[in-house]
Amino acid sequence: MKRVLLLLLVSALLASALPLAAWAQAVEARLVPFRQGSQWGYADHRGRLVLPARYDEAGPFADELAWVRVGNRYGYIDGSGNPITPVQYEQAGNFQNNQATVTLNTETFSINPAGRRLPPAEVAEPADEDPLEQGDLVRGPDGKVGFRFTVGTARIPAIYDEIKDNYNGLLLVRQGPKWGVLDNRGKLVQPLQYDSVRRGGSPLLPAVRQNGRWGYLGLEGRRLIEPRYLQAAPFFGGVARVQAPSGSFGYIDTEGREFWSDKEPVNSK
């Protein structure tokens, strides 16, 4: 609970500094996709099933809208489980900036929250993601890179091969094949031990891979979830889709709680 409150507090303080797309993905949704056996529904953050498991797959909520799959077709529902669109699309994405991208009859286009097709002129262009919000790279004569923070006097010497920004006073740095994390004083808060890092659309909680398994880092750069998953997607709406060691997929929240049960629902087909 304390960690959730901390995440919400820090996210609120960072709202004005984060790009719009990144901020939208940091907001925690009310319901979490929950897999029960081979069927999917939605649970609250205590793991109590709210919308019954009757879908073949379910996506995260954004502004009380989520995609669901029945067979090989997708549609959208609201937070009460009411359909917003028919289950008709060959592909369906998450809602962002009040629109979602879908494919119908091999044609790809965007729809609004009412399920209506948007004219091309109304489709919002994706925001350009500036990878260095907190300062500028400093390049050494040997091709190595360092960093100069815009605020304060801290400078990171040019000893790294690559530097990424996570928008929260931390830097993701690579030296050779390994990644680590620096704070805004240049101190290592995570040693150079990860094989790769993935921010995706969620710079606040990057995914890290170590020994072939994925986990996540928290706001201060500490390990939020130990690397144990076969796959790990970026957080969206306060949840992330992961593949468990068993091979099954499910969602976790920012506390690392897993939202699935291998027991089939009573109404399973």
Map 82-126 to HEC letters.
CECCCCCECEECCCECCEEEEEECCEEEEECCCCCECCHHHCCCC
Amino acid at residue number 15: A
Pairing of strands 196-198, 188-194: unpaired
Show Cβ contacts of residue 137 under 8 Å, excluding neighbours closer than 6 positions: 145, 146, 147, 148, 163
- Under a CB-based contact definition with an 8 Å cutoff, are residues 172 and 179 in contact? yes
How many C-beta atoms surround the C-beta of residue 73 within 10 A? 16
Can you list the residues of the chain whose pLDDT is less than 50? 1-25, 128-130
Domain regions of the chain by residue span: 61-129, 135-200+202-232
203-255 confidence digits (pLDDT tens):
778 999 999 999 999 888 899 999 999 999 999 989 999 999 999 999 999 99
Evaluate whether 237 touches 210 at the Cβ level (below 8 Å).
no
Closest CA to 189 of 201, 179, 175: 179
- The pTM score is 0.83
Cα 2 from chain centroid (whole Å): 21
Q: What is the pLDDT of residue 126?
A: 59
Alpha-carbon dihedral angle through residues 87, 88, 91, 92, given to the nearest 10 degrees: -50
Topology classification of domain 61-129: Thrombin, subunit H (2.40.10)
Q: Are residues 76 and 67 in contact, defined by beta-carbon separation less than 8 angstroms?
A: yes
pLDDT of residue 36: 96
Which pLDDT belongs to residue 125? Answer: 64
pLDDT of res. 5: 42
Closest CA to 108 of 89, 85, 88: 89
